[in-house]
Amino acid sequence: GVRSGTTISQLTGNAEFLSLEANNFPQKNFIGTPTQNAEVDPILDPPVSKRWFSEVIIISISEHDYKIYVCPVEKCQFLGTIEGKLEKLHNRNDLKQISTIAIGEKYAALFKGNWHRAEIVSANMRTKSVRVSFCDYGNEGDIPLSDL
């Protein structure tokens, strides 16, 4: 394209005389970081720092919506602590049997032999099962009511 300041006579003449000077054309300095309009494009802080890489462990990979759930390495010990406490409560029979459930509420749920924190997503009273989302891992699963 031709920039401001180029005259018609310069364009119609021999190419040797073509001038692409930008006389009287306001210039912008693009050295700084561009910003977005916060009202149109809100920028949310990412869960991980933009400046530093974080070591994470892949917790689960969802096959139906292609999401990958990760846990920062420094927080993984917390998951083991939670699971250990739930296991101790179960072994001491301190986990109460569930008589009523509520969708959206959180419970301890058994998954592959271990107790985890879970939120009920849906319930099927005909099959006496619930679909839960495991809070710390991101995956969902159908489990019998007896595993709550």
Number of domains composing the chain: 1
pTM: 0.55
pLDDT computed for residue 49 by the predictor: 62
Residue 133 is part of which domain span?
Answer: 8-147
88/94 Cα distance (integer angstroms):
8
Q: How many whole angstroms separate alpha carbon 112 and alpha carbon 132?
A: 14
pLDDT for the residue numbered 47: 60
Domain annotation covers residue 48: yes
pLDDT of residue 13: 42
What's residue 48's pLDDT? 59
What 8-state DSSP symbol labels residue 145? G
Tell whether 29 is covered by a domain.
Answer: yes
What parts of the chain have a pLDDT lower than 70? Answer: 1-51
Q: Determine the pLDDT at residue 122.
A: 94
Evaluate whether residue 2 is within a structural domain: no
Residue 107 neighbours by CB distance under 10 Å: 19
Return the CATH number at 78.
2.30.30.140
Mean pLDDT of the chain: 72
Between CA 78 and CA 55 the distance in angstroms is 15
The answer to whether the beta carbons of residues 106 and 116 sit under 8 Å apart is no
Q: Is residue 1 part of a domain?
A: no
Position 3 in a domain: no
